[in-house]
Chain A
Amino acid sequence: MKKIFLFLIFPLIIYAGDGLEYTISGIFGYRSLNVKIGDTDATLNYTQAGVNTTVLIDEAKVLYFGGTYGKMSFGDEMVFNELPISVSTKFSKPAFSVFAGGYFRPYSFSEDFAIFLNPEFSYNVSSHSWDISQSPYLEGSVDGKIYYIEGKLGLLLMYEGNETFEPYFGFYFDYYRGNVKFREKFNDLEGIQEEILKPKLPIMVTAGTNVYYGEKFSAGLSLGLLNGITATGFVGITF
């Protein structure tokens, strides 16, 4: 999957270097997703900040890619009971993401409103290793890793009748799949517990607005609901 993802990113990098108009944005966001981990209902929180590069190919085609750094955690303490020695944790460890996507306008039906198709892919990962020294016999380590690959496909209705504000509303099919894996090793006692991570509800509705200040500067905020809470924002400069 990682290789597939790199294939998606490289064409965008080539586009970005081809003398086209592009915007570099600082992005920040908070997600609190309702997920299934194994068969357990849980919440996965992800606070992130990073950089996004948006490339304007033409009026009907915008591509973007970027990366973020942040912190991933479970909403509640989770107990991993299939390990020989159970562990419990909220995780709360550094996380990385890379993403790529685009906005495609299939056709124009109004001067003031536009519909965009918005596909996006991302790879998100967080891992940590704990050294354990509970007793002379329980000495060793526990490794934990959370990762998921996310694919979103949305329809975005945007109001383009104002040069400063660009409010929009969108419906997304937002599916992700990954796993949560804990591996422990105490002397010669080893165990692994691996659980599938997927959305409880793979649908998101979003609302937000982009704000433009002159031709160079832009900013935006959006809020996504239904599959949890996703709040994102950006501040960008166009070259």
Chain B
Amino acid sequence: MKKILFLFLTILLFVGWSYWKGNPDAGLWIPDRIERTNRVVIKFYPGIKEKDMALKTHGLEKIKDILKGKWTVARVPERKKVSEVIDELLKDRRVVWAEPDHIAHIAGEVSPNDSLFGQQWYLKNRGTIEGSIEGADVKATFAWDYTKGSEDVIVAVVDTGVDYEHPDLKNKVIKGYDFVNIDSDPMDDNGHGTMVAGIIGAETNNGEGIAGVCWNCRVLAVKVLNDEGLGYYSWIADGIQYAVEQGARVVNLSLGGSTPSFVLEDALSYATNNNAIVVAAAGNESSQLLYPAAYSPKCISVGATDYSDLRAYFSNFGPNLDIAAPGVEILSTFPGNNYAIGDGTSFAAPIVSGAVGLLISLKPNLTPDQIRKAIIYTADDVNSNSLPGFDYYLGYGRLNLQTLFTPLHLE
């Protein structure tokens, strides 16, 4: 009987041990409330004179006294864990209390340290530009609290090429193909594509330049427009197919023509059927939507708003307009280590492309249809006073990344 009991217990322990380990999962998580600090705050008993000696005993480096000397702030050396030091301190008879010097942050927002971020009103509008309204932005800082994007997600910029040597882009750009000059050097000879690329994925939190919407997404440069910003539909169709074949999950088309085309429509279908989503600019003629934007729902069509959440005067409109994003005075990267400001739905579309990149980074299993609907159904209906609900001028409204990424709380 003892042998049977021993065998039974051994099996139980073995099976139990094999279930002990676990991994975090991107798709399901418990909010992480543990921050990293390398400092502790300590309260010594009144009258303890050898505080410095006590700190040395525990290998701590004093930073300063606070609250009129009642508490001492100290740095924990790299070789030691804060939790271990706290345990040691709490056992020290000279110490009343010790705790980690926790790090506080603005609730739910992440602001990058890029030097020009303050001028990117479209990501966070503080109302500092004359005539602008605070909060008339896409609320990107809230999205970054949930995801900063993934290197696995490639956003293709099918445009005039990209200046892949720009300091704010060189670590982010994948050199694709030049369908204009038929070579593998998609260098930008116009500037338009470089601006689009910067909005999507400029290197962020690097202390210089601008912030991209999708911090960690990679940008695939595909040149289909020449130095005058012109290109054949066939180049564009080729560019879309190429981008999808290279693994792009998002294809940004800040371009269009006034003539419908089965070639373009087929190219959009090819992208959608291969689990990629196309984002297309509505156009800047204050007229009907350009193609391929007019082929929504095979793409997400994007119009433009300004810094007061009003429709940009030039933004095209129509029944197939899905959403709007800021498209006036948009700061971005420009060839030759420069930055420039531009207007147009061309610069609204990459804000949406970056948002799609963030969404796919967090939720890689969503279909293009789910992505499109999630993006447009969480938009801010900013012209609801005059045109409540969906309308031809702003579609479902202005992109709102806070609503898109903040989970619905179910009681």
A84 neighbours in B (Cβ, 8 Å): 363, 366, 370-371, 373-374
25 A-B pairs with CB atoms under 8 Å apart are A36-B22, A40-B29, A40-B30, A79-B31, A79-B407, A81-B407, A84-B370, A87-B410, A88-B407, A89-B409, A89-B410, A109-B1, A135-B381, A137-B396, A155-B5, A186-B373, A187-B377, A189-B373, A189-B374, A189-B377, A200-B19, A200-B20, A200-B22, A201-B16, A202-B19
User: A142–B407 Cα gap in the complex (Å)?
Assistant: 12
Residues of B within 8 A of A136 (CB): 381, 388-389
B379 touches A137 (CB 8 A): yes
Chain B residues positioned under 8 Å from A198 (CB to CB):
19
Alpha-carbon distance A116/B365, docked complex (angstroms): 49
Instruction: From B15, B23, B371, B409, give the contact of A203 (CB < 8 A).
Output: B15
Q: Which residues of B contact A29 (CB under 8 A)?
A: none
Q: CB < 8 Å: which of A88, A109, A193, A202 contacts B409?
A: A88
Task: Give Cα A79 to B31, complex, Å.
Answer: 7
Chain A residues, Cβ within 8 Å of B11: 173
- The answer, yes or no, to whether A132 is at the interface (CB within 8 Å) is yes
The answer to whether A86 and B407 have CB atoms under 8 Å apart is yes
Q: Which residues of B contact A191 (CB under 8 A)?
A: 366, 370
- The answer to the question of B13 belonging to the interface, with a C-beta cut-off of 8 Å to chain A, is yes
Given A86-B407, A134-B408, A136-B389, are A77 and B31 neighbors across the interface (CB < 8 Å)?
yes
- The answer to whether B16 touches A202, judged by C-beta atoms less than 8 angstroms apart, is yes
Chain B's closest residue to A186 (CB) is B377
Is A39 within 8 A of B396, CB to CB? Answer: no
Task: Verify if B48 is at the interface (C-beta below 8 Å from A).
Answer: no
Q: By the criterion CB–CB under 8 Å, are B366 and A137 in contact?
A: no
Q: Are A199 and B379 in contact (CB under 8 A)?
A: no
* Residue A80 interfacial (CB < 8 Å): yes
With a cutoff of 8 Å between Cβ atoms, the chain A residues found around residue B411 in the complex are 89, 130
A38 within 8 Å of B (CB atoms): yes
Count of chain A residues with Cβ under 8 Å from any Cβ of B?
Answer: 51
Q: Is the CB of A171 within 8 A of B9?
A: yes
Complex contacts, A82 vs chain B, CB 8 Å: 27-28, 363, 365-366
Which residues of the other chain, A, contact B25 by a CB distance below 8 angstroms?
Answer: 38-40
The interface of chain A, by Cβ under 8 A from chain B, is 36-42, 76-89, 109, 115, 130, 132, 134-138, 142, 144, 155, 171-173, 186-191, 193, 195, 198-203, 226
**CB-based contact A203/B16 at 8 Å:** yes
Q: How far is the CB of A157 from chain B (nearest CB, A)?
A: 9
Residues in A with CB closer than 8 Å to B262 are none
**Bound-state Cα–Cα, A193 to B363, Å:** 11
Interface membership of B362, Cβ < 8 A: yes
**Main SS of the interface on chain A?**
strand
Q: A137 with B376: in contact, given A39-B22, A88-B408 (CB under 8 Å)?
A: yes
Of chain A, the residue at the smallest CB distance from B13 is A203
Alpha-carbon gap, A171 to B12, bound state (A): 8
Which residue of A has the minimal Cβ distance to B371?
A84
User: Given the complex of chains A and B, what is the CA–CA distance between A152 and B88 in angstroms?
Assistant: 42
B255: min CB distance to chain A, Å: 28
Which of B30, B374, B403 has the most chain A CB within a 10 Å cutoff?
B30
Give CA–CA (A89, B11) in the complex, Å.
37
**Closest CB of chain B to A229's CB: distance in Å?**
16
Q: How far is the CA of A48 from the CA of B27 in the complex (A)?
A: 30
Name B18-70 residues within 8 Å CB distance of A.
19-20, 22-31
Of all A-B residue pairs in the complex, the 6 with the closest CB atoms, nearest first, are A86-B407, A89-B410, A88-B407, A137-B377, A203-B16, A189-B373
The minimal Cβ–Cβ distance linking B12 to chain A, given in whole angstroms, is 5
Query: Which chain B residues numbered 202 to 257 have a C-beta less than 8 Å away from chain A?
Result: none
Residue contact B374 to A201, C-beta cutoff 8 Å: no
Kindly identify which residue among A130, A195, A201 contacts B28, using a CB–CB cutoff of 8 Å: A195
Interchain CB contact under 8 A, A79 and B28: yes
| B332-371 Cβ-contact flags toward A at 8 Å (1 or 0) | 0000000000000000000000000000001101100011
Contact of A155 among B8, B29, B406 (CB under 8 A): B8
Interface assignment of B307: CB less than 8 Å from any CB of chain A: no
In the complex, A85 Cα to B375 Cα: how many Å?
A: 9
Alpha-carbon separation in the docked complex, A40 to B29 (Å): 6
A130 touches B410 (CB 8 A): yes
CA–CA, A188 to B373, complex, Å?
Answer: 8
Residues of B within 8 A of A171 (CB): 8-9, 12
CB atoms of B30 and A76 under 8 A apart: yes
For B366, the chain A residues whose CB sits under 8 A away are 82, 84, 191
A81 touches B29 (CB 8 A): yes
Q: Which residues of A contact B23 (CB under 8 A)?
A: 39
